[in-house]
């Protein structure tokens, strides 16, 4: 992908609008419904909306689309704000569609007065029956010919709570034979005696999405109202309301939803995973939620780079999760602190090293000298990875085997002499000789070795639980497979190991990112305590997965 990117279709529209003088600055909004945690699809919309007003003059509002009283919660409001801030964006105004309920009510009255809305008595089933089909016109209901005065009276009484849920609705009076089914007298208000997280019990009638959304855009003077493709047929209605109400003409533009392979991205499905305990919560590190990815160790920069690289489209497609991991590795390679941890420990004893002695060695912290070095303790007994020893070495094996010499990172060259086994045949320790003149940085030993491995001092290392995560689903597009998407959950998406970590990792904080040398990128988990240290594997160093899939 070249760095010089061409404009996306929205940037083209905006540049034309600005050049034509249609606008001197633009206003966009990110309009989440606070009924769940944000996921990568939302991240795309956030990067798009805020990205446009970072690039062009103008600003972006955060508007909670909280017109449905039942599903919404302040817990979600708080998490949404945290996630947007974490991604690195700033909204101009924090707004709530529910703050416009009075204005929306006035708008509805305006439509009634213009003879463009009426109170319906028919039930949802009766309304559906009269609606017709795409090839057959609908039929007028009896209520359609009500007088303005009667409609005003009934609508006021709806507001005053005189009617039960579902017994009356307010409908726009458009055209029951319209080719666009959404234009066949759509509902604009319904009765719902429910407590709202902000307006409490003030209202028992609530505006429908199509009425509330465009009107909120207009109230905020949104110039470019960006939504996903499924709203294309709604645009006609969006424009109709604005025209009939003679209010600020916001315009709706549509782009393709973001889909990612090996995961699902709908709040409804993510909620099921949480409620049925397939994952530990909305911020489980395997979830494609922003909070889950943060806990997993994704960086804001990697997500923004990903959104930028992928861009936006007018047709749906599935983007490979590996591309997101590629952006993550690229960022972490430049920023993560280098450390050592042994995930599958094998004891190494240095026969010719003094008992009880500790040397403080220096090891590089980062990809270049600017990061400096840290102290790593070295002693007679060490832990190395079990996979770095082979009893009978394979061809081109540059790690430990009887008689083979290897460099320990930032330390010495060691030669393996013997090893111990238990009754089951499992290797329990290896015994080595070290070469004192081979110390890293001042090596005068003249010994040439091909392999360098990581290690930790057994006396100084701390124990930690390391959560090794893999993808949550076994198939590329679990949502489109036959049966329930949950049948495709990867049963091996979490593998827990007990590791030994170098002492400097005891100072880790939740915002740190580490490379455990040769093992991948890791971060501290939020449930980690001094008594029980927990790290999460963010991502491996290389993309092992794509190859596996191709092989398998
Ligand atoms: P879900 O289907 O997961 O519930 P939603 O669209 O109902 O998503 P909202 O809270 O209503 O969620 O969405 C807020 C904004 O995020 C909307 O503008 C919506 O278009 C956008 N958005 C949601 N999911 C995606 C996605 N997968 N790709 C791009 N934009 C998305
Ligand atoms: Mg929604």
Ligand nearest to the CA of 34: 1
Give the pair of three-digit tokens for residue 117.
């809305």
Q: Are residues 389 and 420 in the same domain?
A: yes
Say if 504 falls within a structural domain: yes
CB atoms within 10 A of CB 198: 17
The residue among 44, 485, 10 whose CA lies nearest residue 260 is: 44
CB atoms within 10 A of CB 430: 23
Say if 276 falls within a structural domain: yes
34: CATH: 3.40.50.620
Ligand nearest to the CA of 227: 1
Ligand 1 atom closest to the Cα of residue 257 is 28
Domain stop point among 200, 223, 255: 255
CA dihedral 270, 275, 277, 281 (to 10 degrees): 60
Which pLDDT does position 50 carry in this prediction? 98
Pocket of ligand 1 (CB under 6 A): 31-33, 41-42, 44-45, 65, 227-228, 257-258, 265-267
Domain stop point among 454, 479, 513: 454
Ligand 1 atom closest to the Cα of residue 227 is 20
Say if 552 falls within a structural domain: no
Q: Are residues 244 and 137 in the same domain?
A: yes
The residue among 113, 118, 98 whose CA lies nearest residue 188 is: 118
SS3 labels along 490-535: CCCCEEEEEEEECHHHHHCCCCCCEEECCCEEEEECCCCCCCCCEE
Q: Which residue range forms the structural domain that includes residue 284?
A: 267-337+464-539
Q: Are residues 173 and 211 in the same domain?
A: yes
Domain stop point among 421, 454, 487: 454
Say if 499 falls within a structural domain: yes
Say if 81 falls within a structural domain: yes
- Those residues whose C-beta lies under 8 Å from the C-beta of residue 255, and which sit 6 or more positions away, are 9, 10, 48, 226, 228, 229, 312, 313, 314
The residue among 372, 340, 375 whose CA lies nearest residue 361 is: 375
Give the pair of three-digit tokens for residue 140.
């007028």
Sign (positive/negative) of CA torsion 15, 19, 20, 24? Answer: positive
**How many domains is the chain built from?**
3
Q: Are residues 328 and 435 in the same domain?
A: no
Ligand 1 atom closest to the Cα of residue 44 is 29
CB atoms within 10 A of CB 53: 23
Q: Are residues 415 and 321 in the same domain?
A: no
Which pLDDT does position 368 carry in this prediction? 86
Which pLDDT does position 354 carry in this prediction? 97
SS3 labels along 53-78: HHHCCEEEEEEECCCCCCCCCHHHHH
Sign (positive/negative) of CA torsion 407, 503, 537, 534? Answer: positive
pLDDT in tens, the chain (552 residues): 445 678 999 999 999 999 999 999 999 999 999 999 999 999 999 999 999 999 999 999 999 999 988 776 888 999 999 999 999 999 999 999 999 999 999 999 999 999 999 999 999 999 999 999 999 999 999 999 999 999 999 999 999 999 999 999 999 999 999 999 999 999 999 999 999 989 999 999 999 999 999 999 999 999 999 999 999 999 999 999 999 999 999 999 999 999 999 999 999 999 999 999 999 999 999 999 999 999 999 999 999 999 999 999 999 889 999 999 999 999 999 999 999 999 999 999 999 999 999 999 999 999 888 999 999 999 999 999 999 999 999 999 999 999 999 999 999 999 999 999 999 999 999 999 999 999 999 999 999 999 999 999 999 999 999 999 999 999 999 988 889 999 999 999 999 999 999 999 999 999 999 999 999 999 999 999 999 999 999 999 986 555 444 433
Say if 438 falls within a structural domain: yes
Which pLDDT does position 70 carry in this prediction? 79
Ligand nearest to the CA of 65: 1
Distance in Å, CA 33 to ligand 2 centroid: 6
Say if 167 falls within a structural domain: yes
Which pLDDT does position 481 carry in this prediction? 85
Residues marked active site are found at 33, 257, 267
Q: Are residues 221 and 247 in the same domain?
A: yes
Q: Are residues 370 and 437 in the same domain?
A: yes
b/e sequence 10-47, b meaning 16+ C-beta within 10 Å:
bbebbeebbeeeeeeebbbbbbbbbbbbbbbbbbbbbb
How many angstroms separate the CA atoms of 466 and 344, rounded?
11
Q: Are residues 37 and 163 in the same domain?
A: yes
Distance in Å, CA 524 to ligand 2 centroid: 33
Q: Are residues 155 and 210 in the same domain?
A: yes
Q: Are residues 305 and 446 in the same domain?
A: no
Distance in Å, CA 269 to ligand 1 centroid: 13
Which pLDDT does position 544 carry in this prediction? 57
Give the pair of three-digit tokens for residue 29.
């909004």
Q: Are residues 144 and 78 in the same domain?
A: yes
Give the pair of three-digit tokens for residue 188.
């604009």
């Amino acid at each position: 992908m070249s760095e010089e990117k061409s404009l996306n279709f929205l940037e083209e529209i905006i540049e034309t609008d600005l050049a034509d003088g249609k606008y001197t600055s633009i206003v966009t909004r990110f309009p989440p419904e606070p009924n769940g945690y944000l996921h990568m699809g939302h991240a795309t919309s956030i990067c798009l909306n805020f990205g446009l007003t970072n690039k062009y003059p103008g600003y972006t509002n955060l508007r909670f689309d909280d017109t449905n009283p039942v599903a919404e919660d302040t817990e979600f409001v708080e998490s949404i704000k945290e996630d947007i801030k974490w991604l690195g964006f700033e909204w101009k105004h924090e707004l709530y569609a529910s703050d416009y309920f009075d204005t929306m009510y006035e708008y509805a009255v305006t439509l009634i007065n213009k003879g463009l809305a009426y109170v319906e008595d028919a039930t949802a089933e009766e309304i559906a029956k009269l609606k017709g089909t795409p090839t057959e016109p609908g039929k007028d209901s009896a209520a359609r010919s009500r007088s303005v005065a009667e409609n005003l009276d009934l609508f006021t009484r709806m507001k005053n709570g005189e009617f039960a849920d579902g017994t009356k609705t307010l409908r726009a009076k458009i055209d029951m034979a319209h080719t666009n089914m959404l234009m066949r007298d759509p509902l604009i208000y319904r009765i719902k005696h429910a407590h709202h997280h902000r307006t409490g019990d003030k209202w028992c009638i609530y505006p429908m999405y199509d009425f509330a959304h465009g009107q909120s855009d207009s109230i905020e003077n949104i110039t470019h109202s960006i939504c996903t493709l499924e709203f294309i047929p709604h645009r006609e209605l969006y424009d109709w309301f604005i025209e009939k109400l003679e209010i600020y003409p916001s315009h709706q533009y549509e782009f393709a939803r973001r889909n990612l392979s090996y995961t699902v991205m709908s709040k409804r499905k993510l909620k099921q995973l949480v409620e049925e305990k397939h994952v530990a919560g909305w911020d489980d590190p395997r979830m494609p939620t922003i909070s889950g990815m943060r806990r997993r160790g994704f960086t804001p920069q990697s997500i923004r780079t990903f959104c930028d690289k992928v861009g936006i489209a007018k047709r749906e497609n599935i983007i490979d999760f590996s591309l997101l991991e590629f952006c993550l590795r690229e960022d972490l390679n430049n920023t993560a602190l280098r450390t050592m941890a042994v995930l599958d420990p094998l004891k190494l004893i240095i026969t010719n090293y003094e008992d009880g002695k500790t040397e403080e060695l220096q090891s590089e912290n980062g990809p270049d000298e600017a990061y400096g070095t840290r102290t790593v303790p070295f002693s007679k007994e060490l832990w190395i990875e079990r996979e770095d020893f082979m009893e009978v070495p394979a061809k081109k094996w540059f790690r430990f085997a009887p008689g083979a010499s290897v460099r320990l990172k930032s330390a010495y060259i060691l030669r393996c002499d013997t090893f111990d086994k238990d009754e089951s045949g499992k290797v329990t320790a290896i015994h080595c000789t070290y070469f004192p003149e081979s110390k890293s940085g001042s090596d005068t030993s003249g010994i040439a070795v091909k392999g360098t491995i990581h290690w930790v001092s057994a006396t100084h290392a701390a124990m930690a639980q390391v959560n090794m995560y893999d993808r949550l689903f076994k198939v590329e597009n679990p949502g489109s497979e036959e049966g329930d998407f949950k049948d495709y959950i990867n049963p091996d998406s979490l593998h827990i190991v007990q590791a030994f970590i170098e002492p400097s990792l005891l100072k880790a904080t939740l915002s740190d990112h580490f490379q455990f040398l040769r093992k991948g990128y890791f971060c501290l988990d939020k449930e980690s305590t001094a008594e029980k240290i927990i790290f999460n594997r963010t991502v491996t160093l290389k993309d092992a997965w794509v190859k596996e899939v191709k092989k398998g």
